[in-house]
Amino acid sequence: MTATLNPVAPSERINVIDMLRGFAIFGILVVNTFYFFNPWYAPQLTEASSTADEIAHFVIYFLFVSKFYTLFSFLFGLGMFIQMSRAEAKGAPFVPTYLRRLLILAIFGLAHAVLLWIGDILFIYAVAGLFLLWLFRKRSPRTLLVWAVILIAIPILFMGVAAGAVEFARMAPPESGVYEAVQASFAESAAQFEADTAQDYVIYGSGSFLEITAERWRDVTSLFIMVGWFMLPSVLAMFLIGLRAGKRGWFTHQEEHRSTFRRLLMWALPLGLAMNFYVAITGFSQNTLGMGVFGWETALQVAALNIGSVLLSMSYMAGIVLFSQSARGQRILAPLVPVGRMALSNYLMHSIVMTTLAYGYGFGLFGQVGLAAGFGLAVLLYAVQIPLSRWWLNRFRFGPFEWLWRTLTYAQIQPMRAKEGQVA
């Protein structure tokens, strides 16, 4: 008789992983908040920006941008290892269950992007998860690390080649008209993005749900083409690093790997801070349009951001793991555990709450919330999610969307009520 898989019981969960998920969800919210209230290609800073917005821009790019979806991607790869190990221990088939899990995640992602907010990452996770499942799950830790480095390098190499191509066009003979043609192409694209941004301000700010959903669909298809391919290698790279950490026993034998976490923190933290400080102090922005997108300075900023974000996110991970191994650390980090246990529900709650505040069918604040105000809103929403998550998990085993995900994955309705005496 073939054994079957079931969701992990609360008593079997590794607390520090939930702490890390809860921490990552906060960082993701901080970065996303500007985009809940503004079009995707809107400039984050303008001549009218306040000093508070400029400070927020620096802090967000220094400590948040690309660090937290990176950390969450690491945890996704680690989670696959844990699920695969449980399946092997039970003698249960892993691949069919995991494929259903990815399919349902993809459906959640598409629904989230079209019906709530275009900045979804769940669909990208589902696609990257297929590569993880079919190409990498049986690879050695060394092979996983080599491929992770290659994948991290892909966007950097692309930006370098693009910057080189623009520079090559600049050196072409004036009579060839090559550089002028390149300039005209970039100017046309920038003008189109600016026109689309102006349209977004109108529709998202005052449109009905149906009008906004139609606009979201147009924006989603464009955004996945423009941004999705760029994020996919980075996401998959962190999946591989997380899978490697699982195979190395970093989280199943934490005490044996204290020196590993310490070494990681000692070299990755200063390098990560230095690279991300450079990104922030030079005023890099993901919303740059025009020829500057493929200039040498931007290529260097992207390289520093991609590499530095991996280093800093791994520093965050190592620091939290080490801190959690003390009684004081456990007490301080304990509020993150319920947030992390229902990370999917909390992630989707961000979109529900923020788009209700922003869009025309809600409070209509679209275009009226800058970086500093958005940072404050993110802190406020997360401060609400901490006690709310604990309250919910004292009564129920899963978050609402976690329950739905597991019920569909295992093709069996999961018990929802928490057992008596269970405390989140």
- Cα 212 to Cα 22, 113, 353: the distances in Å are 30, 12, 16
Q: Residues near 226 by Cβ (< 8 Å), separated by ≥ 6?
A: none
Q: Are 73 and 235 in contact (CB under 8 A)?
A: yes
pLDDT tens digits, one per residue of 340-355: 999 999 999 999 999 9
What is the model's pLDDT at position 5? Answer: 54
Which stretch of 161-175, 201-215, 354-368, 403-417 has the lowest confidence by average pLDDT? 161-175
What is the model's pLDDT at position 1? Answer: 40
Instruction: With cut-offs at 50, 70 and 90, classify the pLDDT of residue 316.
Output: very high
Most confident range, picked from 6-10, 71-75, 254-258, 414-418: 71-75
Q: Are 242 and 75 in contact (CB under 8 A)?
A: yes
Paired strand residues for 396: 417
CA 224 to chain centre: 14
pLDDT, mean over the chain: 90
Instruction: Please report, as a single letter, which amino acid is at residue 221.
Output: T
Please determine, for residue 178, whether its predicted confidence score (pLDDT) is greater than 60: yes
Most confident range, picked from 43-52, 107-116, 186-195: 107-116
Which stretch of 122-126, 336-340, 407-411 has the lowest confidence by average pLDDT? 407-411
Q: What percent of the chain has pLDDT over 90?
A: 70
Please determine, for residue 9, whether its predicted confidence score (pLDDT) is greater than 70: no
Q: At what angle do helices 15-37 and 296-324 cross, to 10 degrees?
A: 140
pLDDT tens digits, one per residue of 214-259: 999 999 988 877 777 778 999 999 999 999 999 999 998 888 889 9
Q: What is the mean pLDDT of residues 104-122?
A: 95
Has this prediction a pTM greater than 0.85? yes
**CB under 8 A, 24+ apart: contacts of 284-290:** 284/61, 285/43, 285/44, 285/45, 285/57, 285/61, 286/44, 286/65, 287/40, 287/41, 287/42, 287/43, 287/44, 289/41, 289/189, 289/190, 289/193, 289/194, 290/186, 290/187, 290/190
Please determine, for residue 389, whether its predicted confidence score (pLDDT) is greater than 50: yes
